[in-house]
Amino acid sequence: MGMRILGWGTALPDRVVTNADLEKTLDTSDEWIVERSGIRQRHIGESTAEIAIDAGRSALSQAKVDPASIDLMILATTTPDQSVPATSAHVHHELGLGGGAFDVNAACAGFVYSLVMANGLLGSGAKRILVIGAETLSGLTDWNDRNTAVLFGDGGGALVLESVPDEGQLLSWDLGLDGSARHILHADLGGFIRMDGREVFKRAVRVLVDSATRTLEQAKVRADEIKLLVPHQANIRIIQAACDRLGIEHDRAALVLHRTGNTSSASIPLALVDAIDHGRLESDDLVLFSGFGAGMTWGSALIRWQAEPDE
Ligand code: COA
């Protein structure tokens, strides 16, 4: 038993905050932000549930499935709307989903964690699972702190998955965590994100490369066989350094961070759907997702793409 991707969708709040907007309130410049991170703008606004509902609705409609036929919804988010109940309760109700739902917080690796979990559940009885990554990092951002304010944004992305009797599209995966690094990127309850940027950068490249390599090895796939790397969208320089070490040309990485900033668990589905919309994937292409984040968590998943959900 395995999983098949039936549909996908994304959501970004309407309000766009450009680097030029940030120049007005912070001691920073468009030039610095673009050169050091690759980010030009980010979307801000709405609640995590509203973004998740938009992304989920769009994926369900593309998959042409009845929301009531969903067995389970997994919402990856680091920025829930409240402590209790889980944000997934709101999303589940508004979308009219069947089955259960819960939130997962694995920071920026949350979408890959959720995808791998969904794959396991689809192999043990679940028929259809909706996986959503949705975030409102704007609420965790100290807009007076130039070290972090220039990096983050809000957004969401979703995939509808169905169980299939064969191996399915997920070929191999790797999940991990090094809790001894939890202090380098954190937000206390009620507080803002604080980060040792250089340390996060260094470790991010390392865990991305190691996790991606383990995932490729498991499936006996070489890096040059990968059509598209869909990395967590934190910093263009992290992505390019990881590509160099993996032996993947820069233009084989999916990128949306220039227009979204770092949207944590939403960033991988946002980058994936952007690549699909630009016609970058065909049936049988190998796609490697790789995320990393606070914790530090990491997660990679190798997918064999299927061009049309209803093919
Ligand atoms: N605008 C202008 N200058 C800034 C700035 C900003 N927004 N933010 C920091 N600076 C300054 C620093 O104060 C420092 O000045 P100093 O040399 O006088 O001390 C200088 O720029 C260089 O800072 P440094 O931290 O070395 O820059 P960097 O090249 O490492 O880039 C980050 C900073 C944050 C962009 C980079 O470290 C990064 O992306 N780290 C990973 C963060 C991340 O991905 N987090 C999420 C993980 S899921």
**Average pLDDT over every residue of 105-111:** 98
- The rounded distance, in Å, linking the Cα atoms of 270 and 208 is 18
The answer to whether 173 and 300 are in contact (CB under 8 A) is: yes
Name the H helices within 193-296: 197-218, 236-246, 257-260, 267-277
Asked if residue 311 has pLDDT above 60, the reply is no
The CA 257 to ligand 1 mean position distance, Å, reads 16
**Average pLDDT over every residue of 217-229:** 98
Is residue 197 in contact with ligand 1, taking CB distance under 6 Å?
yes
Q: Specify the pTM.
A: 0.97
Active site residue 232: yes
The answer to whether 60 and 257 are in contact (CB under 8 A) is: no
Asked if residue 137 has pLDDT above 80, the reply is yes
Active site residue 262: yes
CB atoms within 10 A of CB 83: 7
Output b/e per residue, 149-159; b: 16+ Cβ within 10 A.
Answer: bbbbbbbbbbb
What are the tokens at 174? 């790797």
- Bridge partner list, 134: 156
- The rounded distance, in Å, linking the Cα atoms of 125 and 216 is 27
Q: Which residues contact 22 (CB under 8 A, 6 or more apart)?
A: 28, 33, 149, 150
Q: Which atom of ligand 1 is nearest to the CA of 108?
A: 48
What are the tokens at 192? 């803002």
Asked if residue 39 has pLDDT above 60, the reply is yes
Is residue 201 in contact with ligand 1, taking CB distance under 6 Å?
yes
Question: Which of 108, 119, 235, 243 is labelled catalytic?
Answer: 108
Q: Closest Cα partner for 169 from 244, 207, 96, 219?
A: 219
> Which amino acid is located at 256 in the chain?
V
Is residue 36 in contact with ligand 1, taking CB distance under 6 Å?
yes
What are the tokens at 233? 């969208």
- Bridge partner list, 94: none
Confidence of residue 140 (pLDDT cuts 50, 70, 90): very high
The CA 39 to ligand 1 mean position distance, Å, reads 13
The CA 32 to ligand 1 mean position distance, Å, reads 9
What are the tokens at 304? 């064999």
Is residue 198 in contact with ligand 1, taking CB distance under 6 Å?
yes
Q: Is 4 exposed, middle or buried (0-12, 13-18, 19+ CB in 10 A)?
A: middle
The answer to whether 87 and 96 are in contact (CB under 8 A) is: no
12 DSSP assignment: -
The answer to whether 296 and 177 are in contact (CB under 8 A) is: yes
- The rounded distance, in Å, linking the Cα atoms of 85 and 89 is 7
Mean pLDDT, all residues of the chain: 97
Q: Which atom of ligand 1 is nearest to the CA of 147?
A: 8
Output b/e per residue, 268-298; b: 16+ Cβ within 10 A.
Answer: bbbbbbbbbeeebbeeebbbbbbbbbbbbbb
pLDDT digits (tens, 9 = 90+) for 49-89: 999 999 999 999 999 999 999 999 999 999 999 999 999 99
Asked if residue 109 has pLDDT above 80, the reply is yes
The answer to whether 252 and 228 are in contact (CB under 8 A) is: yes
pLDDT of residue 147: 96
Return the residue matching tokens 């702190």.
Answer: 145
Is residue 2 in contact with ligand 1, taking CB distance under 6 Å?
no
Is residue 37 in contact with ligand 1, taking CB distance under 6 Å?
yes
310 or 202: which carries more pLDDT confidence?
Answer: 202
Confidence of residue 308 (pLDDT cuts 50, 70, 90): low
Question: Which of 43, 90, 92, 232 is labelled catalytic?
Answer: 232
Is residue 143 in contact with ligand 1, taking CB distance under 6 Å?
no
pLDDT of residue 307: 74
The CA 148 to ligand 1 mean position distance, Å, reads 8
Report the percentage of the chain scoring pLDDT > 70: 99
Domains of the chain: 2-164 (3.40.47.10), 170-304 (3.40.47.10)
Is residue 235 in contact with ligand 1, taking CB distance under 6 Å?
yes
Asked if residue 310 has pLDDT above 70, the reply is no
Helix, strand, coil percentages (3-state) for the chain, rounded to 5, are 40, 25, 30
Ligand 1 pocket test: pick from 35, 36, 142 the residue with the most ligand atoms within 8 Å of its Cβ.
36
Q: Which residues contact 57 (CB under 8 A, 6 or more apart)?
A: 9, 95
Helices (H) and strands (E) in the chain, counts: 10, 13
